[in-house]
Amino acid sequence: MTPTQLRAYSAVVRLGSVKQAAAHLEVTEAAISLHIGQLRKELGDQLFSRTAAGLAFTPGGLRLASRATELLGLQDITVMEVSTAGRGRRLLRIGASSLFAEHAAPGLIELFANRAADLDLELSVRNPGSFAALLTDRMIDIAIGPPPAVPDPAVVCRPVMYYRIVTVVSPDHPLAGVQPSPRQLRDQTWLLGPSVVADTGAIRTLLRRLGVPEGQQQIFQSHAAAVEEAKRGRGVAAALGFTVAPDVRKGHLVQFSAAHTCLEEVWHAQVLADPSAPAAAAELARFASTPRAIQAMMRGTGVNISRFKPAVHVTLWS
């Protein structure tokens, strides 16, 4: 068995089809089928078969799925540990929702990184719906964002920070100074950041609650860019309350105050329950909910990544 074969099989198990596994791994379906065929031949087991309801796995196929995850995770951890140990450093991989990564992560990472001189941090924006799978597959060490829709016994989830999503417009917007009804809001152009395309999240929930049609939604490369468009009077923006509060106080934006125009949610930190998971991940999960960390997250909006010491490697909108 090779790591490539195991990754192909693990993707098929997780996604439920060869086609989706090929798209996820960015290879052809023929390549996935070849890897599966090689595993079947070597192990002497069919592993799974196709049925009208989807894939049906043999007992051996289910056992391999479990072992494949363990083996691949061990390989990833080994590569990471050898690389960082050779430089005398530790590496902590953080996966975050786009809203948290853009506005809260800068302050948190800067504060946490300064606590350990031998720690490197890698931040990547991930779909919250894939948090549990990414943790289980050892692709990330900690996830921060919306809580899971369905709890996973292999993952420890703890609340980090309460936040509020508000809706704002420019002072020149036709709805400024009034309390719009849900129907009026549905007819507006909504200026949104990338979090709206995720499987779950507060902004997506707010839009669903209001019934805003997709045709009325404009998505920008960042939430800050969407708010800037709102300042120009081009529509309604959904934003983190603490990020737009200064502009509201200065009169650059007007915030609606009706109950249906805002939403309160909680960011959660998720780490593996496995004792072999990096200790720094559990430490960050605990630290993130402290008053000092929360203050840093609220003040950290817009902090330049070059200020982070030790190094923080950032992959945005992956």
CATH number at residue 179: 3.40.190.290
The reply to whether 27 and 60 lie within a common domain is: yes
Joined together, the tokens standing for residue 281 give 């991940």
Looking at residue 83, its pLDDT comes to 67
Residues 65, 133 contacting (CB under 8 angstroms):
no
Say which residue the tokens 């196929």 belong to: 61
The CA-atom distances, in angstroms, between 227 and each of 165, 184, 237 are 13, 20, 6
pLDDT at position 314 is 40
Residues 48 and 105 in one domain: no
Which parts of the chain have pLDDT scores under 50?
Answer: 302-318
Whether 109 and 179 map to the same domain: the answer is: no
Q: Are residues 10 and 59 in the same domain?
A: yes
By CB neighbour count within 10 A (0-12 exposed, 13-18 middle, 19+ buried), where does 95 fall?
buried
Whether 185 and 135 map to the same domain: the answer is no
Tell me, what's the pLDDT at 156? 95
Residue 174 burial (C-beta neighbours within 10 Å; 0-12, 13-18, 19+) = exposed
Domain that holds residue 90: 83-156+272-315
pLDDT at 85: 62
Co-location of 19 and 60 in the same domain = yes
Contact predicate 241/166, CB 8 Å:
yes
| Token code pair at residue 96 | 């975050």
Which residue is it, tokens 């109950």? 259
Q: DSSP letter string over 128-187?
A: GGGHHHHHHTTS-SEEEESPPSS--TTEEEEEEEEEEEEEEE-TTSTTTTS---HHHHHT
Total count of domains within the chain: 3
What's the confidence (pLDDT) of residue 304?
A: 42
Last residue within a domain, chosen from 75, 92, 117: 75
On whether both 138 and 179 belong to a single domain, the answer is no
**Tens of pLDDT along 116-127?**
777 888 888 888
Residue 140 CA to residue 130 CA, distance in Å, equals 11
Please state the pTM of the whole predicted model. Answer: 0.70
| Residues 250-287 pLDDT 10s | 999 999 999 999 999 999 999 999 888 888 999 999 99
| Exposed/middle/buried for residue 245 (C-beta within 10 Å: 0-12, 13-18, 19+) | middle
pLDDT computed for residue 80 by the predictor: 65
pLDDT of residue 88: 64
Instruction: Give the CATH number of the domain where residue 53 resides.
Output: 1.10.10.10
DSSP secondary-structure letter at 188?
Answer: S
CATH of the domain at 302: 3.40.190
177, exposed or middle or buried, with CB in 10 Å at 0-12, 13-18, 19+?
exposed
Q: Token pair 């009026």 is at which residue?
A: 184
Angle at 29 between CA 197 and CA 196, to 5 degrees: 0
- Residues 89 and 23: their CA atoms lie apart, in Å, by 34
29 and 88 within one domain: no
How much is the pLDDT for 86?
63
Phi, psi dihedrals of residue 73, rounded to the nearest 5° = -65, -40
